[in-house]
Amino acid sequence: MASRRMCSLLSHSLTSPTSSAALFSRGNIGRNIASPSRGISKYSTAAAIENPVDPPFEVKHTQLLINGQFVDAASGKSFPTLDPRTGDVIAHVAEGDAEDINRAVAAARKAFDEGPWPKMTAYERQRIVLRFADLIEKHNDELAALETWDSGKPYEQSAKVEVPMLTRLMRYYAGWADKIHGLTVPADGPYHVQTLHEPIGVVGQVTPWNFPLLMFAWKVGPALACGNTIVLKTAEQTPLSALFAANLLHEAGLPPGVLNVISGFGPTAGAPLASHMDVDKFAFTGSTKTGQVVHELASRSNLKPVTMELGGKSPFIVCEDADIDKAVELAHSALFFNQGQCCCAGSRTFVHERVYDEFVEKSKARALKRAVGDPFLKGIEQGPQVSNAQFEKILEYIKSGIESGATLESGGERLGNKGYYIKPTVFSNVKDDMLIAKDEIFGPVQSIFKYKDLDEVIRRANATLFGLAAGVFTENLDTANTLTRALRVGTVWVNCYNIFDAAIPVGGYKMSGHGREKGIYSLENYLQVKAVVTPLKNPAWL
Amino acid sequence: MASQNSDDSSASIFVKNPTIKFTKLFINGEFVDSISGKTFETIDPRTGEVIAKIAEGDKEDVDLAVKAARQAFDHGTWPRLPGSERGRIMMKFADLIEENAEELAALETIDGGKLFSMNKAMDIPQAASSLRYYAGAADKIHGEVLKMSRELHGYTLQEPIGVVGHIIPWNFPSIMFSVKVSPALAAGCTMVVKPAEQTPLTALFYAHLAKLAGIPNGVLNVVSGLGSTAGSAISSHMDIDVVSFTGSTEVGRKILQAAAASNLKVVSLELGGKSPLIIFDDADVDMAADLALFGILYNKGEICVASSRVYVQEGIYEELVKKLVEKAKAWVVGDPFDPKVQQGPQVDKKQFEKILSYIEQGKGEGATLLTGGKPLGEKGYFIEPTIFAEVKEEMLIAKDEIFGPVMALAKFKTIEEAIKRANNTRYGLAAGIVTKDLNVANTVSRSIRAGTIWINCYFAFDNDIPFGGYKMSGFGKDFGLEALHKYLQVKSVVTPLYNTPWL
């Protein structure tokens, strides 16, 4: 449901920006907010971003979480986490490195080998995770504010979609805990054969900065349901919400050592985790480039299996029979959602030539209407990019698009003088060999391509190293079925986009990754299969 | 000798009679009188006295309840909610059961004579945990995409089957209520529940809690009444899509006939049993004696999977019999509210008399009465733990389900003989094996024609373990994800594909 709300929130409720107000206007969380009277009706109104809303929460947890305790880094080092609205420091966070990873893995190892977590009944594990979900619900607004503050995503999206989705996911996985089935297996002779689905052990997980809490749920949820223990490294851009959530999980009754959270950087904390000899499984979400490094580290150390959700350059195909207004809106949200910082972003919009001109014109109009500004304000659809590095990178790609001859329909530059805001950018007449057609930009840059027939668009849509997702927009059943099977991607959304229910698996073909998260498929990542065979004497049947 | 603590002086200490709040039918979200205005008495088996008068539903009331359920299914929100939201409401229902555990446990004791301590520790928490198990399954109902041999796209939808009739027994009123209702709720069905006329109280209480939890009106209806009128109306109703029954084999047959004669509704039956417990020479004798005794005396022997036939290998037979008798004599029968008591009264006079008549039959047939054999006390329906030895296959007490604290003990020599005799029954509900030998355990497990095999344990039920019978013990499963599928229809959907890159 949450994801359906996500879709409708994106497609409808935010299209007509309302008068602005800080979202903290209700209840006790509104006390520190100066009531802003500035209006945000579209991105060109930049005044709001000059005087950012002061989030009414204090950052409570900045240390590493090891063996159920918040502790400083062994080195004593810390790093600043920045507010992308301003570039100012939110907090200094303990910076974990190899030594902290060792401590965390040792705690997780002990919690796995000695218990009680894997030895508990699944029902007890389930009850702890359900209590955690209740606690998240209770702290919904606080978690949402932390998420927005650290990452720049609209608070409405955090509070109404992402944090509720976190509770939804945790409840979903809680329900799996007591339904993990091995099989009894037929044998060719007189043997009794069964498979035990055992927890895999100590799991290392690395989450990205674009959906810190949702990725926490995708990773931690199934690992816990299956009875594993975890060392989680969060992205250095967004360490705050995971620490808060992990603390709630302990409040819910999670035994110490089961979930350890290390803030830190990829080369110094992520790498020692990926190459740790005592980590049995690794799961990573992030860029394809880092995914390759992670895979190498895993294979060079103890050959731990690796699940990876990597980059994408997902096609969104608008057929000639499509309802253009709906398609424009959906293609717009498919790309611009979360400041364009989605691995599944519909970053290649293929439009049939018969409807191309109308589509481009309307897409441009929609982008110009997009409400960009302080993510803490009501009605804002787009906040700042997560960091200066991302911001600069996106502007470089925009420059490259202009230089390579694509037509800039809207945007193309930063918004205001402060923080990492970028105007919603639409390119038309994009050609397949341009850099903006090939690389994952991870920003608010829509590229529109023209095509003639189905075979052509299938070929072009598949002509990429990636294979994460695709959108198909048509009323024709046969076209929908043909495209669905022909596209080499892990998810096809037909007449919808970004539907991320708990039960729907997500994952990539090709260089978009290995394995699937969410749904029943995610459990496989965190289970070992043990076949048990014993002879049968005089069996009644085989 | 087994003692009885329910004499007048001690009984009063333990009486925790709860107020009876719900005595009417629950139809379309409201408690209502029966159309006829009739009531029946529900009796306290400790004393034989009337606890309360309960609205007696019959055909007209069942019609109303089915109409409400039909409306709720055809036009209501329940089957149209996402599974996750049904699950949330069911979780809330479970929480409410836990909050009312003390009161529910007491109701279960006065109505069914069941041990208060067990109700509180086991039956009521199990009712909550079943709901949670299926709540967690509600968003995990998967159809399949199919492998086709031509250019076709095929898939299955698992659809809720519709309106369900549940007819539940009096021996585990809470657990049976939850085990029937929970998977049907998770699947998105609507339902009419008929509790046993001996024990209607908790089912009506659960209906009240279901409403508080947010289960929409009409989704869960409870019609208390008799089998011959209300039960029969459910099994022959033209607008009920599936009937799920737990009870005797005799009634099960009637239900199947009624279903066939009416609308061919799907039927699932959990019926009687005469389950063997086979104890081999290598067993730990003390542990085996405990299991055997527990297997027959638990819940006063009123359990369909009772280990009512105990086969002991000759090497340990004498020693085991000695222990069994000692332990049976130390077994405490009395007021089920007394925490020291291990066995309360039988559920009603009819059962009490039936059990005593089987005991007489056993004596008459020439079985050796080792212990027990008599009623206990002047009041209520208490029976001594009873063990017969040298029971022959052809004796009635070896063949019939007695449903009381009466064990039939026999000696065997070889594994083949044990298997043969264990299978020599029209039932096939469960069996127990006590051995340390892996090969014996495996061979016997596969050889016994029964739905559940317990090796070195007994009554090991669990939410995830499907439970149901072979042969005349019925068909269809309760518990586990199998039970969910009783309440789902499979629809296959097929459409042509053009130019597909793979098949």
Nearest CA-CA distance, residue A308 and chain B, Å: 24
Same domain, B360 and B214: no
Overall average pLDDT of the B110-125 stretch: 96
pLDDT of residue A48: 63
* Contact between B501 and A485 using a beta-carbon 8 Å cutoff: yes
DSSP per position, A18-74: ----BGGGSGGGGTT--------SSTT--GGGGS----S------SEEETTEEE--T
Is the complex ipTM more than 0.90? no
Please, which residues 466-485 of chain B have a Cβ atom closer than 8 Å to chain A? 481
pLDDT of residue A23: 60
Residue B219 has pLDDT above 50, yes or no: yes
The mean pLDDT value of chain A amounts to: 92
A498-523 pLDDT, tens digit per residue, is 999 999 999 999 999 999 999 999 99
DSSP per position, B364-420: HHT-EEEE--SEESSSS-EE--EEEES--TTSHHHHS---SSEEEEEEE-SHHHHHH
pLDDT of residue A31: 38
Within 8 A of A172 by CB-CB distance, chain B residues are: 84, 139
Of the pLDDT bands very low, low, confident and very high (cuts 50, 70, 90), residue B17 is confident
Overall average pLDDT of the A325-332 stretch: 97
Same domain, B259 and B305: no
Same domain, B31 and B101: yes
pLDDT of residue A51: 84
pLDDT of residue B423: 97
Residue A114 has pLDDT above 90, yes or no: yes
Please indicate, yes or no, if residue B465 is contained in any of the structural domains.
no
Same domain, B306 and B384: yes
Please indicate, yes or no, if residue B4 is contained in any of the structural domains.
no
Of the pLDDT bands very low, low, confident and very high (cuts 50, 70, 90), residue A50 is confident
CATH code of the domain containing B310: 3.40.309.10
Tokens at A451, concatenated: 């095509």
Catalytic status, residue A392:
no
Catalytic status, residue A309:
yes
Tokens at B180, concatenated: 């029937």
CATH code of the domain containing B57: 3.40.605.10
Which residues contact residue B128 at a Cβ distance below 8 angstroms, ignoring those fewer than 6 apart? B94, B95, B97, B98, B101, B178
Within 8 A of A221 by CB-CB distance, chain B residues are: none
Please indicate, yes or no, if residue B164 is contained in any of the structural domains.
yes
Phi, psi of A438 (to 5 degrees): -105, -40
Overall average pLDDT of the B26-51 stretch: 96
Q: Are A312 and A469 in contact (CB under 8 A)?
A: yes
* Contact between A179 and B140 using a beta-carbon 8 Å cutoff: yes
Please indicate, yes or no, if residue B461 is contained in any of the structural domains.
no
Please indicate, yes or no, if residue B438 is contained in any of the structural domains.
yes
* Contact between A175 and B140 using a beta-carbon 8 Å cutoff: yes
Which residues contact residue A71 at a Cβ distance below 8 angstroms, ignoring those fewer than 6 apart? A63, A64, A65, A94
pLDDT of residue B499: 85
Is any Cβ of chain A less than 8 angstroms from the Cβ of B363?
no
Within 8 A of B140 by CB-CB distance, chain A residues are: 175-176, 179, 503, 520
Q: Are A540 and B444 in contact (CB under 8 A)?
A: no
Overall average pLDDT of the B426-445 stretch: 97
Please indicate, yes or no, if residue B503 is contained in any of the structural domains.
no
How many domains, chain B? 2
Same domain, B133 and B170: yes
Residue B334 has pLDDT above 70, yes or no: yes
**SS3 track for A186-219:** CCCCCEEEEEEEEECCEEEEECCCCCHHHHHHHH
A442-496 pLDDT, tens digit per residue, is 999 999 999 999 999 999 999 999 999 999 999 999 999 999 999 999 999 999 9
Is any Cβ of chain A less than 8 angstroms from the Cβ of B502?
yes
Same domain, B256 and B304: no
Is any Cβ of chain A less than 8 angstroms from the Cβ of B19?
no
* Contact between B495 and A481 using a beta-carbon 8 Å cutoff: yes
Same domain, B24 and B138: yes
A263-301 pLDDT, tens digit per residue, is 999 999 999 999 999 999 999 999 999 999 999 999 999
Same domain, B353 and B373: yes
* Contact between A503 and B140 using a beta-carbon 8 Å cutoff: yes
* Contact between B442 and A539 using a beta-carbon 8 Å cutoff: yes
Residue B485 has pLDDT above 80, yes or no: yes
Same domain, B324 and B424: yes
Overall average pLDDT of the B411-431 stretch: 97
* β-sheet bridge partners, residue A204: A231, A282
Is any Cβ of chain A less than 8 angstroms from the Cβ of B147?
no
* Contact between B481 and A192 using a beta-carbon 8 Å cutoff: no
Radius of gyration of chain B (CA): 24
Decide which of A44 and B458 is more confident: B458
Residue A42 has pLDDT above 70, yes or no: no
Of the pLDDT bands very low, low, confident and very high (cuts 50, 70, 90), residue B149 is confident
Overall average pLDDT of the A525-530 stretch: 96
pLDDT above 90 covers a percentage of chain A that reads: 87
Is any Cβ of chain A less than 8 angstroms from the Cβ of B446?
yes
Residue A196 has pLDDT above 60, yes or no: yes
pLDDT above 70 covers a percentage of chain B that reads: 97
Same domain, B173 and B291: no
Catalytic residue among B270, B302, B384, B401: B270
Please indicate, yes or no, if residue B485 is contained in any of the structural domains.
yes
Picking from B16, B1, B7, the residue whose alpha carbon sits closest to that of residue B377 is B7
Question: What is the Cα–Cα distance from B385 to B408, expressed in whole angstroms?
Answer: 12
Of the pLDDT bands very low, low, confident and very high (cuts 50, 70, 90), residue A12 is very low
B180-203 pLDDT, tens digit per residue, is 999 999 999 999 999 999 999 999
Please indicate, yes or no, if residue B429 is contained in any of the structural domains.
yes
Picking from B383, B431, B151, B503, the residue whose alpha carbon sits closest to that of residue B274 is B431
Of the pLDDT bands very low, low, confident and very high (cuts 50, 70, 90), residue A33 is very low
Same domain, B319 and B267: no
What DSSP element (H or E) covers A123?
A: helix A122-138
pLDDT of residue A24: 56
Q: From the list B137, B153, B501, which residue is nearest A486 (CB)?
A: B501
Of the pLDDT bands very low, low, confident and very high (cuts 50, 70, 90), residue B448 is very high
pLDDT above 70 covers a percentage of chain A that reads: 91
Q: Are B270 and B452 in contact (CB under 8 A)?
A: no
Catalytic residue among A319, A343, A409, A517: A343
What is the per-residue burial (b if ≥16 Cβ within 10 Å, else e) of A59-91? bebbbbbbbbebeebbeebbbebbbbbbeeebb
pLDDT of residue A21: 55
* Contact between A481 and B500 using a beta-carbon 8 Å cutoff: yes
Tokens at B223, concatenated: 């019609």
Overall average pLDDT of the B391-409 stretch: 97
Phi, psi of B164 (to 5 degrees): -110, 140
Residue B7 has pLDDT above 60, yes or no: no
Same domain, B435 and B482: no
pLDDT above 90 covers a percentage of chain B that reads: 94
- List, in sequence order, every beta strand (DSSP E) within A187-318: 191-199, 202-206, 229-234, 259-263, 281-285, 306-309, 315-318
pLDDT of residue A517: 97
Residue to mutate among A167, A482, A532, A533, with most B CBs inside 10 A, is A482
CA B397, B400, B404: angle at the middle one, nearest 5? 75
Of the pLDDT bands very low, low, confident and very high (cuts 50, 70, 90), residue A56 is confident
The helix-helix angle for B101-112 and B173-187 (nearest 10°) equals 120
Tokens at B173, concatenated: 């009123």
pLDDT of residue A538: 87
Residue B296 has pLDDT above 50, yes or no: yes
Domain interval for residue B67: 13-271+473-490
